[in-house]
């Protein structure tokens, strides 16, 4: 099992698109990992990169006056809280790989093409594309 990055997921900001693609890559590395040590390391990277990515994406949304910024931030906060909870479990020696894979797959295949697409539509509308 793996999740596939698609060009249709691009939002038009090269930095954000690169971060999205990297999160897909990290998620796929996590899916493929078969040792607790590898999964722990990837979990740390996933959380750190996701947090940094959300900060960048929210900065972009502010710069284009995205009207649903507060709601989008709430989705980010929910995902980070859940990822943090799962990370803490990993730190305690409990690896719920299916929950982590499910969370990241759901985010990658639903949040990006559905929620982030709204940012694209707003950017297109404001620039007249």
- CA 116 remoteness from chain centre: 10
In the predicted structure, residue 129 carries a pLDDT above the cut 60: no
Residue 71 confidence (pLDDT): 94
105: number of Cβ within 10 Å: 17
Mean pLDDT, residues 22-49: 91
Mean pLDDT of the chain: 89
Max alpha carbon distance in the chain (Å)? 52
CA distances in angstroms from 89 to 21, 23, 49, listed in the order given: 26, 21, 19
What per-residue confidence (pLDDT) applies to 73?
95
How many other CB atoms are found less than 10 A from the CB of residue 20?
21
Mean pLDDT of the 16-26 span: 92
**Which pair of structure tokens corresponds to residue 31?**
């899916």
Q: What's the predicted TM-score (pTM) here?
A: 0.86
pLDDT band at 90 (very low <50, low <70, confident <90, very high): confident
């Amino acid at each position: 099992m793996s999740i596939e990055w698609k060009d249709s997921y691009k939002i038009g900001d090269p930095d954000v698109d690169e971060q999205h693609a990297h999160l897909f890559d990290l998620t796929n590395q996590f899916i493929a990992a078969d040792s607790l040590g590898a999964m722990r390391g990837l979990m740390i990277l996933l959380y750190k990169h996701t947090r940094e990515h959300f900060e960048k994406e929210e900065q972009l949304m502010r710069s284009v006056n995205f009207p649903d910024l507060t709601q989008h931030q709430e989705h980010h906060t929910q995902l980070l809280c859940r990822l943090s909870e799962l990370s803490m479990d990993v730190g305690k020696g409990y690896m719920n790989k299916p929950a982590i894979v499910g969370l990241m797959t759901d985010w990658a295949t639903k949040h990006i093409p559905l929620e982030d697409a709204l940012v694209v539509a707003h950017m297109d509308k404001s620039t007249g594309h």
